[in-house]
Each structure stands twice: as C-alpha cells, then as structure tokens.
Amino acid sequence: MTDRGTLISRTSRSSMHSGWQLRRFLLLLLVLSACGPQLVATPAEGPTPTAVPTRPPYDPSAVRTVERHDLVNAASGRATIVPKLTNDLFFRRDGRIARIDVAVGDEVKQGQILARLEQTDLEYQIGLAQIDVQLAELRARNARDKKSPQLDIDIADKETDRTRLALQRLQTEQKDLLVTAPYNGRVRKISANPGSEITAYKPVATIIGSEQLIVLAEFSGAQGAHISEGQEIEFREFATDKLIFKGKVTGKAGDANPDGWIVEPVTNASTPQPKLNLGDTFKAVAVLGRATNVLTLPSATIKTIGDRHYVLLIENGNLRRVFVETGIETEGIVEIKSGLQAGQQVSEH
C-alpha cells in the first residue's frame, strides 16, 4: 500500500516537472521571437530600366535656308567643229582595184585621183581613139589647105567630130574606173585594199571637207529635249567657262545623230566670225529661261506626292509639311514660286 502510493506520488511529480520544462521552453521561444530580427520574405528588385532614346525631329546638319538668287535654266552639252561635207566615195562599175593613191589623214584637192580599177584594155582603146582623133584632124586640115571641094571638107569635119565623140565616150567610161575627190578635204577612211574585187557603188573611201566647217552641238537628257530651231547657244571654254562666241540653232544634225544640232555663229560688228578649226571642242550652253531675285532651295529639300511638291518646314523645333510651287531648276537649285518666305528653314530629311 505504502509502495504503490509512493510510486503514484513520484509519477505525478515527474509529470509536473516535464510540463513545467515545456512551458519554460515555449516561453523562451516567445521571448526570442519578440526580441530577434523579423524574417520577412520580400520580392527581388528588378533591373534599372534603360532610358529610351528620343529621335530629334530633324538633323541639324541637314537644315537649309530659303534664300534669294538669280537663276538661269540652261542645258549644257558639247560642241564640236565638224566638216559641213562628208561623202563616201565609190566606183561606178565592178572590177579589181589596181591602186589606192592616198592614206587616211591625207589632205586632197578637188579632182585628185584617190583610187583606180584595173583598166588595161580601156587604156589601149583610149590610146587608139586618140590616134583616130589626130588623123581625122589632119585630114580636115589637109582638105582646107588643098582647098578641096566643100563637100570633102564637110565630110572631114564630120569624121573629126565622130572620132572625138568616140574618145569622149571612152574617157567617160574611164571615169567610172577612178575615184576622185569631189572637193578639197581630208581622207577620213579607206574601206578597200589594192588587188581586191569590188562591186559598183560600194564605198572605197570617205572624205570630209576641210574648207566648209559647221558647229555641231549635242545635248542629251530631259533639258536637251527643250532645244529647238532658233535657240540661242553660248560656246564656252571647258576649263575657264569663258564665253568664246554665240550662235543660233539652224536645224537638226540628222537621224544619224539625234541629239545633235547644227549651230550657225552669230556675227556682227562687235562679234566677228570666230576662228573655227576642224576638231575643236567647246562647252555648249543653251539658255532655256531666266529668273531674277527669286526664292530658292536646294533640290534635295523638295519632296513629291503625286504631282505636288512639298518641303519639311522647321517651326518651333518641329517639322511641318508645306506644299510649294516650284519653277526653274539649275545646277541643283530650285526656284520656289509660292509656299515659303525668305529666311525660313527646311530639312532635307
């Protein structure tokens, strides 16, 4: 009895001691949690955002100012002093070329023989015909010296005429075997070789006239299309742009040179006939229009929508589209007829 009571009493004291220790542990945790640092989960901070660059409304280096200038609308080309006459020369019958008596670049005189066909038989016939003429002339002279009857004299004269006509026919035929210069000039081209067979009217040589020269002005492009007969042309040195002489268009150069115009120099008391040498070249300037003291901008600033033109006007640091009316254009500068004022600024881009 005593032992059992004693055991129960010891067990109760042990349980009470264990409970007190648990309460003390929990109290200690509470105190520590109140005094220690608070562990709170916080979201991670994101990266610092990069500033987005702002695009300026225009490039300061591409700003252009509306200014006043005198403009000349002109078409520029090249002028060359060329011969007025150029001919291809040929034989009038088939044959074998016996000789070519000139070379390219040779100066020749009118009537000079340039080439000839083989003509041995014809030369023989011409020699016989010349003898016949001489004999006929002797007979006619002898008939007159002897005071022969008039009928005999008339017969002798007719015989002379007949032999002369025969000689002329052979000499005319001989001309078909020769190529001669039709005028004073220079040989530009040789198109055949001695010993070769050639057909009638096939070119053998080309000759250019050296005495009659003309000015051939050539213009191309859109501005060149505005050239017309009567147009005034200025001729200048390429290196210095110095005015040499003026002229007027007299007509087209021909189908072989569709961009070429024939120009006649304008001469008067103050501007004598210029000295022209074959092959000389000049800068040709055709004045198509003039504008004095007009508003201008570089052509690069002009934009297009359909058939309308506009610019990007700078106002208070911003760009505004402004439609303009344009006029003549020369060397990259455009006349502004309306839409802008002097001193205003526009952007090329």
Decide which of 66 and 213 is more confident.
Answer: 66
Mean pLDDT of 288-315: 93
**What pLDDT is attached to residue 22?**
60
Round to whole Å and give the CA distance between 79 and 262: 10
pLDDT at 215: 94
- DSSP 8-class letter at 1: -
**Rounded-to-10 torsion of CA 95, 192, 210, 251:** 90
Average pLDDT taken over every residue of the chain: 85
Q: pLDDT tens across 46-86, in order?
A: 566 555 444 567 888 899 999 999 998 888 899 999 998 99
338, two tokens = 């309306």
Between CA 251 and CA 260 the distance in angstroms is 9
CA distance 279 to 274: 14
Residue-wise DSSP of 28-65: HHHHHHHHSPP----PPPPPPPPPPPPPPSS-GGGEEE
Residue 271 has what pLDDT?
A: 73
Residue 24 confidence (pLDDT): 66
Residue 8's pLDDT band (boundaries 50, 70, 90)? Answer: very low
